[in-house]
Structure 1
Amino acid sequence: MVFNRSLLAKAALGPAAGAVLMAFMASGAIPAYQMYSVALAAVYTIVVLSVGLLAGWSGIWSVGHPAFFAIGAYFAAYGSGHGWSLEAVILGAVTTGAVLGAFLGFAGARFSTLYIALLTLAFTMVALEVINRWSSVTGGDQGIPVIQLDSALGLGTLAGGGVEPQYLAVGAAAVVLAIAVPAAASGLRMRLVAAKSHPLAARTIGIAPEAQSSLAFAASAAATSFAGVLLGLITGFVSPDPFSLNFGISLIAACVLGGVGTIVGAVAGGIYLTWNPSLSSAVGLPQPVVQGIVLVGVLLFLPGGVVPFLARPARTLLRKLRPTPPPASARPAPETVSGLQPMRPTRADAPVLLRVEHLSVAYGGLKALEDASLSLREDEVLAVIGPNGAGKTTLLNALSGLTGSGRVSGTADFAGTQLFKARSTARRRLGMGRTFQHAEVFSELTVAENVLCTRRRIRPRDRVAAAELLEAVGLADVADRRPGELPFGLQKRLDLARAIAEEPKLLVLDEPFGGLDAGERALLAQHIRRLHESGTSVLIIDHVLDDLFSVAHRVLAFDFGRTIGEGTPDTVLDDPAVRSSYLGTVGGRAQLPERTGEQRSVIRLDGIGHTYGGVVALRDIDLDVSEGVVLGIAGANGAGKSTLAGILHGSLKPSRGDRRTGGTVRTSLAPEGRALFKTLSLKENLEVAAYAAGITGAPLRERLEETTLWLPPRLRDRMSVSAAGLSGGEQQMLAIARALIVRPDVLIVDEPALGLAPALVDEVYDRLVRLAHDGLTVVLLEQLLSRAMSVCHEVVVLHEGVIAAQGRPGDPSFATLAEAAYFSGERQTAATTA
């Protein structure tokens, strides 16, 4: 934690306000009958702060804090009757609350927000039952008095219900608020927020979400137990009534009213809790009714809370007064994009840094990776390639410890350490950094905090190092911005900066070039070269082969979870097995119907482009889908096929360009991954699609019978079985049948062969070609080029969102053009496009 003048000034506001308030109390400016309410508001402020920060920083909503509040109050009552000192009571209450809170936080970290709330609800109910039954200690329903507590440190005697505890409560709240200010700027808060916003990414930088939840809950519970001691002292009597479940709900309402996770909002919430009974009496309504009206009003009109709402105009004014930084577009990094130098050769005698042998990862009966082996030397950049579903990301997840429920077997030696025996959170300390395909940054932290949260304790030199790192990757001008305000390219740079913040020995990059334009890819290649020059080894997977090969010393090819080839960047694609893994091999029994005459256009796309939050998925797409044609759209993973499928279907509106249809055209989409309703039966999956299209009654029964006949016999006899019980091929046929039940004019099938064995692929394609014989227009989005060439009348090759080639497979010259376009992306032309 670093203290600067600004931070100290903010932290001093709480004690200063507390001193002024106590001065008013001492001078009589606050009437004696109101001093109790002021002290109660101070106590409630501590409780609301502890609940609000727990929710805002850790994402844990607790209904169990009334129990911790009660623990502190009963410690005060019991201690006062048994000669305990004030310090002993506070220590006992805080320790007990922290231990129980740590347990609840650790146990609840495995569950969703709802289940954590239920867990804390159960804890409060148990605590209330104990209070009622343990009457020898708590007094049961009758309660127990707080007589007095003497200070062992010579601070005097505090009589329960007296004036002195009221001053103590105000002073204690001021100190707690002062502590909260630097805590909000500390690494602790950053790591808590990181664990809340993205648990998997947090693990890769050494943050254990379970430990963070446990720590946060312990601190919150300890603060609430301390507030309970203060409550017992200012009231002079403790009974079960103030600690009911209604109070737990009131606490959450107060947090929302003030502003979840805000310090000043906790003060507003404490004041609201104190004067809510008076407000209810004034309007003549029960407290729960008033509370409900206030809460509904805040949620509808001030969803962020009162304090953030009032602070927003002030922040807007400050932004106008401050100079405006350069726009957060693709501001160039300090180095130039042009003039990339060849990679420096790796040392032949360099020791092996990572050795993986016979690695297998299985999820149930599915083997995502099988008997994979690789070695990576120090000072080497190793590229791993393969089609979608080849097991590349599974390999990286296994190395990072992020396989979840997957069964991992095999060995991995990393710098002399057995990697698979180390926890995922420990692999960062071993020297491994990791990025993600979609730039999984911590959205609730600033750019600078995304880098700083990699440190447990943030020192001044850490902030200097973070600033230098952000300058090196071209993010210095947006250090105080949230990632959501930045385009995708800058988010990718931030993901890289976070991964290299602690100078790892091995940097693992998951599709770093995906979604970037040519300039951004060149910048990234420069960063990878610079890391290699500094001695970092790199393991990288990607589908953008040109850029990937430009930074790799050696290339390893995967397919169907196995290693199928290895070589240098300029030779690996010469391996027939590697080439066929991308392009596929022709097989199956499907025979296309002959095209006769000119077909009318059923769907036309003109100048179509689409972006996702700054990521360009499609650019300048002009495409005609002719009636009765089987159109194949081939391309590697990330080429933009699924985006194009959504636009052809009409379910996705393009960012620019026009989609037109030749009259009334009904389209239907069988999406990638099938997207079945796994808990529903086969028949129910079909019915849901029919209901969505407005088909009911007799037409529905007719469509069900017709569609069922299209399915193979082994599925017709199992229509009442849940979809989860089907094999991959059977699920694919059900997904297609679900798309067919609406009787579409155009059927669009996205990656029908994904994850299927060759025999099942042939069966699925045979059935699709039979639909073409029946006159249905079919659009197939396929990763394997040769498969598309074998079953389609026309083929379009997508590469990085543009049409790189288009033609008819029957033209002998088109196969060569299509293959070159598939890999290089250079726009190809052929006479067969007519």
Structure 2
Amino acid sequence: MVFNRSLLAKAALGPAAGAVLMAFMAAGAIPAYQMYSVGLAAVYTVVVLSVGLLAGWSGIWSVGHPAFFAIGAYFAAYGSGHDWTLEAVILGAVATGAALGAFLGYAGARFSVLYIALLTLAFTTVTLELVNRWSSVTGGDQGVPVIQLRSALGVGTVVGGGTDAQYLAVGAAAVVLALAVPAAASGLRMRLVAAKSHPLAARTIGIAPEAQSSLSFAVSAACTSFAGVLLGLITGFVSPDPFSLAFGISLIAACVLGGVGTVLGAVAGGVYLTWNPSLSSAVGLPQPVVQGLVLVAVLLFLPGGLVPFLAKPARSVLRRVQRRPDAPRPTTADVPADLLPLRSPSEAAGGGPVLLRLEHLSVGYGGLKAIEDASLSLRQNEILAVIGPNGAGKTTLLNVLSGLTGNGRVSGSADFAGRPLLKARATARRRLGIGRTFQHAEVFSELTVAENVLCTRRRITARDRAEVARLLHSVGLADVADRSPAELPFGLQKRLDLARAMAEAPRLLILDEPFGGLDAAERALLAQHIRRLHADGTAVLVIDHVLDDLFSVAHRVLAFDFGRTIGEGTPDTVLQDPEVRSSYLGTVDGRERLPARGGDRSMIRLHGVGHAYGGVVALRGVDLDVRQGMVLGVAGANGAGKSTLAAILHGSLEPAHGDRETGGVVRTSLAPEGRALFKTLSLRENLEVAAYAAGLTGGPLRERLEETVQWLPPRLRDRLSASAATLSGGEQQMLAIARALIVRPDVLIVDEPALGLAPALVDEVYDRLARLGHDGLTVVLLEQLLSRAMSVCHEVAVLHDGVVAAHGRPDDAAFAALAEAAYFDGGVTAAGTRADTARASQVN
């Protein structure tokens, strides 16, 4: 923890306020009958702070803190009756609370927020029952007095119910608040928030969410037990009444009222708990009613809490005074000159000893083999690219290296720097020297840009902050270090993900689709960073579907398909391997294309359509005409923008740019990628849900259902009452298509129908789709394999990087060559050639 003047000044506010308050108390400025309330407010402040920070930093809502409160109070009562010292009582209460809290935190880390709340509820129930039954220690319902506790340090004796206990409570609360301020700026808080925000990403930087939950709960429980000791001393008598479950609910309400996870909010919550009885008496309503009304009002009008609401105007004024320029658009100029690449992979082939070796690696999930008997080696100072179509097993490979396979069964061997890798925990692999990025830039949204990188350190020193500042400067993020990741465009979030992976100089950097969603300038900048890492001696393993940018940085390329390695070579030669090429393009099986029965009527027409998701450009200037009775195929690699195009054609997604026009009233229906069935419902119920959504009921529904069922194969017609979860992948796909057909669409849109299916089932699904087109239905088929689209569809559009790179008829030999080139590199074909091809297809 680095202390600076600003932080020390903030930390000193608590003790200063406590000293002033105690001075007023000593001078008699506070009436004697209010002194007790002041001391009680101080005690409640400590409890609300411990509950609020646990919720705000760790995401754990506990209704078990009344039990820890009771533990501290009964420690005070028992110690006062057995001549314990004040320090011994505090130490015993804090240690007991911490041990029990650590257990609850670790046990609850595997569950959702609801189940953690139930776990703490059970803990409070058991504790209160123990208090009632262990009458020899607790006095049962009658309670037990707190007489006095002498200090072993010679401070004096604290008498239960006396004014000295009130002074002690105020002073203790001031100290706890002072400690909370630097804790809020510490690495501990950052790691707790990181584990809460994104547990999976946290593991890749060495943070174990279970350990963080256990630690945070232990600290919170210890503080609450300490507050319980103070409560026993202030009241002079301990009974079960103050520790009811209703008090647990009151604590949560006080946290929400003040502001969850804020230090000043804890003070406001403590004051509210203390004077809530007086407020209830003033308005003539029961306390639970007043508390409920206050909580509802806060949730409706001040959802962030009172203190954050009042702090907003101050922050707004501060931002006007210290206004920062908007985050710059990424360009190659963003990279400092001294950090540009020293050499490119083409100038220096990867070399050195073998750093990573995988042999006969297999990963299974149930009956699915995600990786089967795969082997690879990676040398130090080498950039290895792994390519393959969607579902080839690439991301599973990265998860194996990161230790994120979940319940997958992993076999084979993996050695990293001469050490076995598979038995190492995910959190330990960061220490071995493995860093990783994610496809969608999985940043910690509740931390600033700088904190996203700082949280990789357990203890943060001035040197750590200087190193992180240099790292952020190297990736062009120095000007936005204090901003939230949510304020940044996607390209800068990708840079942040890279910076976090680069922290602590890993020996191996794993990049998961780093070029996806970036524009040309951003991709060029990322390629420079990768080359720089290579020049500095870092081994890089990268997967991506943007092959031209990927090949520009790679020394060697390894091709995957169906979970196994199918080819290897240099970027210049790997795509010449027939098996590698067919894994992307597929192979034509000689299926006879059924003739179209349509006309020239345009069903859906797109003009200059573009769309982006939070800065991620999915489509750019797409022109497309879906004509009646045609089977239109849209082929493209994963990430080309096919699913976004499907949603826009369907009408469920409004394009950010351009126009979508229909030729009159056109009913569309979408069978989405992944099928999206209701697994717990039967086949019949899945169909009925779609019919209900279309407004069908009664007789029309039964008629439409009978008609749709006839489209299904016999083996599904006989199982309409079975759960959709019991179907095979191919059967689920046919059910998904049937569900889309039940509304009698004019245009059927099917997104990736072959995904995850065995070849025999793929043929069956495509035969049925081809028959629908032959019967006159307009079908739009979005497919990853180009050859499959060419063998079934009447027209094919090739989508590359969000752009229609080619559009024509499969029976045109010139178009077939053009389509293949456009599939791999949309920039190979001139724009004019694409336009000519598109016009030719319209004329034909």
Deviations along 1:192-245, one digit per CA (max 9) or x if unpaired, are 000000000000000000000000000000000000000000000000000000
Equivalence for 1:18: 18
> Whole-Å Cα distance in 2 between the matches of residues 171 and 588 of structure 1?
85
SS state at 2:653 partner = coil
Runs (5+) with no aligned partner, structure 2: none
Deviations along 1:337-373, one digit per CA (max 9) or x if unpaired, are 9999632655676211000011111111111111111
| Correspondence 1:469 to 2:478 | no
> Whole-Å Cα distance in 2 between the matches of residues 354 and 347 of structure 1?
17
> Whole-Å Cα distance in 2 between the matches of residues 54 and 330 of structure 1?
38
Alignment of structure 1 residues 695-706 onto 2, 5 Å = 695-706=696-707
> Whole-Å Cα distance in 1 between the matches of residues 268 and 594 of structure 2?
72
User: Does structure 1 retain, via aligned residues, the 8 Å contact 2:342–2:535?
Assistant: no
User: Does structure 1 retain, via aligned residues, the 8 Å contact 2:350–2:382?
Assistant: no
Equivalence for 1:367: 369
- 1:3 CA displacement: 0.3
| Correspondence 1:709 to 2:710 | yes
TM-score by length of 2: 0.97
Aligned residues between the structures: 833
> Whole-Å Cα distance in 2 between the matches of residues 594 and 241 of structure 1?
80
Q: Which moved more, 1:656-665 or 1:492-501?
A: 656-665
Identity of aligned residues (%): 82
Structure 1 residues 59, 728: closer, same or farther in 2, change over 3 A?
A: same
User: Does structure 2 retain, via aligned residues, the 8 Å contact 1:382–1:552?
Assistant: yes
Alignment of structure 1 residues 560-575 onto 2, 5 Å = 560-575=562-577
Aligned with 1:438 (options 429, 437, 440):
440
SS state at 2:324 partner = coil
| Correspondence 1:178 to 2:187 | no
> Whole-Å Cα distance in 2 between the matches of residues 488 and 580 of structure 1?
33
Q: CA RMSD in A?
A: 1.3
User: Does structure 1 retain, via aligned residues, the 8 Å contact 2:556–2:568?
Assistant: yes
Equivalence for 1:633: 634
Alignment of structure 1 residues 20-59 onto 2, 5 Å = 20-59=20-59
Aligned residue identity for 1:173:
A
Equivalence for 2:693: 692
> Whole-Å Cα distance in 1 between the matches of residues 259 and 142 of structure 2?
36
Equivalence for 2:209: 209
Aligned residue identity for 1:539:
L
Aligned residue identity for 1:562:
R
> Whole-Å Cα distance in 2 between the matches of residues 349 and 549 of structure 1?
18
Equivalence for 2:778: 777
> Whole-Å Cα distance in 1 between the matches of residues 357 and 434 of structure 2?
14
> Whole-Å Cα distance in 2 between the matches of residues 329 and 296 of structure 1?
43
> Whole-Å Cα distance in 2 between the matches of residues 578 and 671 of structure 1?
27
User: Does structure 1 retain, via aligned residues, the 8 Å contact 2:597–2:775?
Assistant: no
Runs (5+) with no aligned partner, structure 1: none
- 1:593 CA displacement: 2.0
Structure 1 residues 344, 152: closer, same or farther in 2, change over 3 A?
A: farther
Equivalence for 1:198: 198
Alignment of structure 1 residues 621-770 onto 2, 5 Å = 621-770=622-771
Structure 1 residues 61, 339: closer, same or farther in 2, change over 3 A?
A: closer
Alignment of structure 1 residues 46-195 onto 2, 5 Å = 46-195=46-195
- 1:410 CA displacement: 1.1
Equivalence for 2:589: 587
Structure 1 residues 338, 307: closer, same or farther in 2, change over 3 A?
A: closer
> Whole-Å Cα distance in 2 between the matches of residues 145 and 502 of structure 1?
56
SS state at 1:494 partner = helix
Structure 1 residues 530, 339: closer, same or farther in 2, change over 3 A?
A: closer
Equivalence for 1:456: 458
Aligned residue identity for 1:602:
M
TM-score by length of 1: 0.99
SS state at 2:710 partner = helix
> Whole-Å Cα distance in 1 between the matches of residues 351 and 105 of structure 2?
50
Aligned residue identity for 1:816:
A
User: Does structure 2 retain, via aligned residues, the 8 Å contact 1:359–1:409?
Assistant: yes
- 1:333 CA displacement: 1.9
> Whole-Å Cα distance in 1 between the matches of residues 312 and 589 of structure 2?
63
SS state at 2:422 partner = helix
> Whole-Å Cα distance in 1 between the matches of residues 229 and 592 of structure 2?
79
Structure 1 residues 77, 706: closer, same or farther in 2, change over 3 A?
A: same
User: Does structure 2 retain, via aligned residues, the 8 Å contact 1:690–1:741?
Assistant: yes
User: Does structure 2 retain, via aligned residues, the 8 Å contact 1:588–1:766?
Assistant: no
User: Does structure 2 retain, via aligned residues, the 8 Å contact 1:588–1:762?
Assistant: no
Equivalence for 2:379: 377
User: Does structure 1 retain, via aligned residues, the 8 Å contact 2:343–2:535?
Assistant: no
Deviations along 1:384-411, one digit per CA (max 9) or x if unpaired, are 0000000000000011011111111111
User: Does structure 2 retain, via aligned residues, the 8 Å contact 1:204–1:433?
Assistant: yes
Deviations along 1:767-801, one digit per CA (max 9) or x if unpaired, are 00111121100000000000011101100000000
> Whole-Å Cα distance in 1 between the matches of residues 17 and 350 of structure 2?
68
SS state at 1:744 partner = coil
User: Does structure 1 retain, via aligned residues, the 8 Å contact 2:350–2:383?
Assistant: no
> Whole-Å Cα distance in 2 between the matches of residues 740 and 652 of structure 1?
20
Q: Which moved more, 1:334-343 or 1:614-623?
A: 334-343
Deviations along 1:616-650, one digit per CA (max 9) or x if unpaired, are 10010111100000000000000000000000000
SS state at 2:565 partner = strand
| Correspondence 1:832 to 2:841 | yes
User: Does structure 2 retain, via aligned residues, the 8 Å contact 1:50–1:224?
Assistant: yes
Equivalence for 2:241: 241
Aligned with 1:521 (options 502, 513, 523):
523
| Correspondence 1:421 to 2:423 | yes
- 1:589 CA displacement: 4.1
Structure 1 residues 269, 590: closer, same or farther in 2, change over 3 A?
A: farther
Deviations along 1:2-55, one digit per CA (max 9) or x if unpaired, are 100000000000000000000000000001110000000000000000000000
SS state at 1:420 partner = coil
Deviations along 1:651-673, one digit per CA (max 9) or x if unpaired, are 01111111111111100000000
> Whole-Å Cα distance in 2 between the matches of residues 322 and 423 of structure 1?
44
SS state at 2:174 partner = helix
| Correspondence 1:478 to 2:480 | yes
| Correspondence 1:334 to 2:335 | yes
> Whole-Å Cα distance in 2 between the matches of residues 334 and 742 of structure 1?
54
Equivalence for 1:794: 795
> Whole-Å Cα distance in 1 between the matches of residues 9 and 340 of structure 2?
48
Deviations along 1:162-200, one digit per CA (max 9) or x if unpaired, are 000100000000000000000000000000000000000
> Whole-Å Cα distance in 2 between the matches of residues 832 and 256 of structure 1?
63
Aligned residue identity for 1:435:
T
> Whole-Å Cα distance in 1 between the matches of residues 443 and 210 of structure 2?
19
User: Does structure 1 retain, via aligned residues, the 8 Å contact 2:141–2:240?
Assistant: yes
User: Does structure 1 retain, via aligned residues, the 8 Å contact 2:437–2:501?
Assistant: yes
Structure 1 residues 695, 763: closer, same or farther in 2, change over 3 A?
A: same
> Whole-Å Cα distance in 2 between the matches of residues 393 and 448 of structure 1?
28
Structure 1 residues 338, 706: closer, same or farther in 2, change over 3 A?
A: farther
SS state at 2:334 partner = coil
> Whole-Å Cα distance in 2 between the matches of residues 395 and 652 of structure 1?
33
Deviations along 1:276-327, one digit per CA (max 9) or x if unpaired, are 0000000000000000000000000000000000000000000111142343
> Whole-Å Cα distance in 2 between the matches of residues 153 and 340 of structure 1?
64
Aligned residue identity for 1:578:
V
- 1:588 CA displacement: 6.6
